Amino acid sequence: MNKLIPLSMLLGFTLPVLAAPTLVAEQLKEEGKLAIPYQLYKLDNGLTVILAPDRTDPLVHLDVTYHVGSSRETVGKSGFAHFFEHMMFQGSKHVGDQEHMRIINEAGGDMNGTTNKDRTNYYETVPANQLEKVLWLEADRMGFLLDAVSQKKFEIQRSTVKNERAQRVDNQPYGLVSEKVGEALYPRTHPYSWQPIGYVEDLDRVDVNDLKQFFLRWYGPNNATLTLGGDFDTKQALAWIEQYFGSIPRGPEVAEPTPKPVTLPETRYLTLEDKVHLPLLYISYPTVSLGDPQEPALDMFADVLGGSASSMLYQSLVKTGKAIDVGASHYCEELACTLTVYAYPNPAVDGSLKTLKGEVDKVIGEFAQRGLKPEDLEKAISSYRASAIWGLDSVSGKVSQLAMGQVFAKDPNYVFKTLDAISKVTPAQVKSAYDTFIANKSAVVMSVVPKGKGAWQVAKPNFVPAKRALPDYSKHDVALVERPVKDTFDRSVQPNMGGAVSVNMPVIWHGKLDQGIQIIGTQNDEIPAVSIIIALPGGMLAEGKGELGLANLTAAMMGQGSERLTEADLSDELRKLGSSVSVSSAQYNTLITISSLADKLPQTLALVQEVYQQPGLRAADFERVKAQLLQGMQQSQQQPEWLVSQAFRELVYGKQNRLGQPSDGTATDVAKLTLADVRRFYQRYYSPHNAKVVVVGDVTQSQLEAQLGFLTQWQGKAPTLGSLMPKGEQAKPGIYLVDKPGAPQSVIRIGRRAMPFDTMGDYFTAGLMNFNLGGNFNSRINLNLREDKGYTYGASSGFSANREAGTFATGADVRSDATVDAIRQFLQELDNYRTTGPTPVELAYMRSAVSQQDAISYETLDQKASFLLQMIMYDLQPDYVQAQTQRIKTVASAELKASAAHWLDPAQMVIVVVGDKQKLEKPLQELHLPIYPLQLP
């Protein structure tokens, strides 16, 4: 018998002995109790581990949350927690550059990371057989990130973060509101006085050594919570977690942060002149901190004040036409909470925010007499309970709730305790909180007004943030020593995936009602809830000449209640049930979307029946809703994304085609529409003839068909519908420049008209072809423009289509000074790819990634409903998924190259650029392409 020699003797050092994880707490499944079952463990190095097995779908979701956000940053180094999040995707000692995302994509998974003021988390959803691999990946960047950090990576990600800020903050209407309010609400030394995205000057100040120190200070296992949910064996998962994470040394001790709520000596007025159409009144009252006993009472006050269509603000301001939109919320963070009230006035009535502030103050003052009513609590409890249940619809939702509860409250099921706390709120508690924090109390009052409309502000600004006093960092930063990891195994070996998983395709049933109504459904009792989509033939397709937007306006009017119920009444009834019902217009259909708890479905459908058969369609509602839509259209035209999308639609489909116009119509047409037009559209196109119904959830076929019987009671003829097929050619190739003066970024959209939708033909093949061009994070386009050049926060490409037409488009939001070369890079990538097609490595990557995505594609009720909706709309058989999988395995490289050669010719593309014309017009001439100025309404 051969004697085994201990590995430690061969290596010449003593290897660490890893103790088994310690079980700290456990939540068992209890009948009738709303909670997520879990087990909580601690590793010797301080890592908190929460396991929540769920065998209903063949997937796992892993979340690693570090208790560090922007609130741990120091003055002058804002944005660093978020910046560091980007660096965590740039490879580690045993995982190459860009490999983390590539490995997850290749496994058919999905991943991302997020940073807020109080925490940073990283998460992956993958087929269950990839669990060991994702644990290996997360452990490698926890223990070995610094081995792969370089100055080049640091500079690229610094550019990426700057582009993200420009795209989300500086180039967006209202984008600076949170930043300006935070500066006024908190002292400059308070970490909530800056936003997680940070200031550009601070991002420029830090260097790669700051990054290394940040990692060593905050990214130890003792400051992390690993939460795993899904289809796994607990014993095996624990063994892998101990193997990959157990030997990572703990970092410096991290104290729990101390709450830092604030008070204001006086009301602070701010004004921001912005490129907006609608002024904005934004009021922030400082309150308590997360977990404070008064938090639930403040939540209830915000709900009564502005949380629904029956709220005090909505009824007083929106229903009277004084405001376009209003709302109130109490948002709690770890150090401090704020109660925020917002209101957009109706400029057609009075754009003055001073007048609006007086109206808001009046409503707030009225609460002193009104107080909290029993029905307020009933509606809130039902609504919050339904929201909690829907949060259990996915493994990721469960994991997220467990992780956040543990990190911030040391209780994984904290979310359900907050629901219990809400149910116990009393009128006296709400009145006390109102008196303490709201009534006649100081707040930050922000006025956002259109350029040149300073007279609309609430009051002359009376507050300027103090200049930040930047410390001498050489005296304050303490150098931290790297912590080497000693292992008993070779981490450079990537784990193999486990055995193939069986994809749980929904078991589908088909039904039929009178008048040609088709039903497709699947029964699922994972949560006691039901999701229903009723698709009535019509939508944009049914609009006539001169009435673009009528379908959208009619859908909006259907949400205003029935002959018996006002909008507020309908809102109240739905909230008491914990249900939601919405009506929307699509290209070929009007969609009625219903979400209900299973035990409330009969009552919910009774409300749907009432509104569907006896809509209110009141004149006063019509005038208000129409005004809201018109104001909203004008506001949309300030957004760069709307401008580039509309320009592209016009150029590709033509102004005369419905697809070439905005889905919500044109302001010219909507302004002329009458209530008679809406009633006519309702009578003609809300017919259930040939309707299609999708049902997913905890309900049987027989129950559902009986409850939907009201659809067959309609009296009338089936509507006659036309076509959306575009006529004529697309616009001439060239550059179409839409002027947005002063824009810090340019928004680029390059593309052409393409083919209609199919599941096995040219469209499906083109989608496979595009995967490596611009269809995933590691695509050629994104790696070039984001990861190599640092021009953008993200670049992509793809095909989209309906049953009659489609487009190919690629683009990005890029730095203004990079516009010309970004376009050049896009065109070169298109030309190169159409010449070569995918490489053998790219082909294998696509096959692996796309074919394994099914394992995570049918988990939630919404995912199942979308799958069934596509099936019923395109008359597909369930086995089309298997046929697509086979097609992915067998498609030849030559087929993909031929598809690329046909669709990716740059000479056939229109190029839309939304940016500062004065800065761009001359440099764009370097591309030697015709340049056409394009004026949008």
Summarised one tens digit per residue, pLDDT across range 307-351 is 999 999 999 999 999 999 999 999 999 999 999 999 999 998 999
pLDDT for residue 716? 75
Residue 71 has pLDDT above 70, yes or no: yes
Q: What is the tens place of the pLDDT at every residue in 373-432? A: 999 999 999 999 999 999 999 999 999 999 999 999 999 999 999 999 999 999 999 999
Using 50, 70 and 90 to split pLDDT, how confident is the model at 9?
very low
pLDDT for residue 378? 94
Which amino acid is residue 91, in one-letter code?
A: G
* Phi, then psi, of 521 in degrees rounded to 5: -155, 170
* Phi, then psi, of 414 in degrees rounded to 5: -60, -35
Residue pointed to by tokens 């909203």? 632
Indicate the pairing of strand 529-537 with strand 323-332.
unpaired
In percent, the amount of the chain with pLDDT more than 70 equals 97
Residue 812 has pLDDT above 50, yes or no: yes
924 with 830, same domain: the answer is yes
Residue 602 has pLDDT above 90, yes or no: yes
699 with 744, same domain: the answer is no
Query: Would you say 875 and 698 are in contact if contact means Cβ atoms under 8 Å apart?
Result: no
Residue 503 has pLDDT above 70, yes or no: yes
- Residue ranges of the alpha helices (H) in 292-331? 295-306, 312-313
pLDDT for residue 18? 59
771 with 891, same domain: the answer is yes
829 with 751, same domain: the answer is yes
In percent, the amount of the chain with pLDDT more than 90 equals 90
pLDDT for residue 12? 37
553 with 686, same domain: the answer is yes
pLDDT for residue 506? 85
* Phi, then psi, of 731 in degrees rounded to 5: -65, 160
Residue 20 has pLDDT above 80, yes or no: no
pLDDT for residue 350? 92
Average pLDDT on 723-737 reads 95
Q: Is residue 692 part of a domain?
A: yes
pLDDT for residue 480? 84
547 with 663, same domain: the answer is yes
The SS3 assignment for 431 reads helix
pLDDT for residue 476? 58
Using 50, 70 and 90 to split pLDDT, how confident is the model at 13?
very low
Q: Is residue 501 part of a domain?
A: no
Identify the sign of the CA torsion 612, 618, 620, 626: positive
Residue 7 has pLDDT above 80, yes or no: no
Indicate the pairing of strand 910-915 with strand 734-739.
parallel
pLDDT for residue 15? 44
Average pLDDT on 158-164 reads 94
100 with 234, same domain: the answer is yes
686 with 738, same domain: the answer is no
For residue 423, give both structure tokens.
């149910």
pLDDT for residue 290? 96
* Parent domain of 438: 268-372+425-456
Q: Is residue 883 part of a domain?
A: yes
The number of domains in the chain is 4
- Residue ranges of the alpha helices (H) in 88-221? 99-106, 131-144, 151-165, 177-185, 200-205, 208-218
The helix (run of H) or strand (run of E) holding residue 64 is strand 59-66
Q: Is residue 564 part of a domain?
A: yes
Residue 505 has pLDDT above 90, yes or no: no
Average pLDDT on 821-837 reads 97
Using 50, 70 and 90 to split pLDDT, how confident is the model at 11?
very low
- Averaged confidence pLDDT in the chain: 94
354 with 208, same domain: the answer is no
Q: What is the pTM of this model?
A: 0.94
- Residue ranges of the alpha helices (H) in 206-282? 208-218, 234-245
For residue 175, give both structure tokens.
């984008």
Q: What is the tens place of the pLDDT at every residue in 848-903? A: 999 999 888 999 999 999 999 999 999 998 889 999 999 999 999 999 999 999 99
* Phi, then psi, of 829 in degrees rounded to 5: -60, -45
Query: Would you say 48 and 226 are in contact if contact means Cβ atoms under 8 Å apart?
Result: yes
363 with 274, same domain: the answer is yes
Residue 353 has pLDDT above 60, yes or no: yes
* Phi, then psi, of 558 in degrees rounded to 5: -65, -20
**Is residue 358 exposed (0-12), middle (13-18) or buried (19+ Cβ within 10 Å)?**
exposed
707 with 616, same domain: the answer is yes
700 with 834, same domain: the answer is no
Q: Is residue 760 part of a domain?
A: yes
Long-range contact set of residues 477-481: C-beta below 8 Å, sequence gap at least 24: 477/213, 479/213, 480/213, 480/216, 480/217, 480/252, 481/216
Which amino acid is residue 174, in one-letter code?
A: Y
pLDDT for residue 475? 65
Residue 745 has pLDDT above 50, yes or no: yes
pLDDT for residue 6? 33
Q: Which of 682, 713, 744 is the last residue of a domain?
A: 713
Average pLDDT on 162-177 reads 95
CA 723 vs CA 588, 686, 720: distances in Å: 9, 18, 10
Residue 446 has pLDDT above 90, yes or no: yes
CATH at 226: 3.30.830.10
Residue pointed to by tokens 């493994």? 395
Q: Is residue 479 part of a domain?
A: no
Find the length of the chain.
937
Q: Is residue 492 part of a domain?
A: no
The SS3 assignment for 67 reads coil
Average pLDDT on 58-85 reads 95
Average pLDDT on 95-110 reads 94
Q: Is residue 823 part of a domain?
A: yes
Query: Would you say 138 and 240 are in contact if contact means Cβ atoms under 8 Å apart?
Result: no
* Phi, then psi, of 37 in degrees rounded to 5: -65, 140
Average pLDDT on 691-705 reads 96
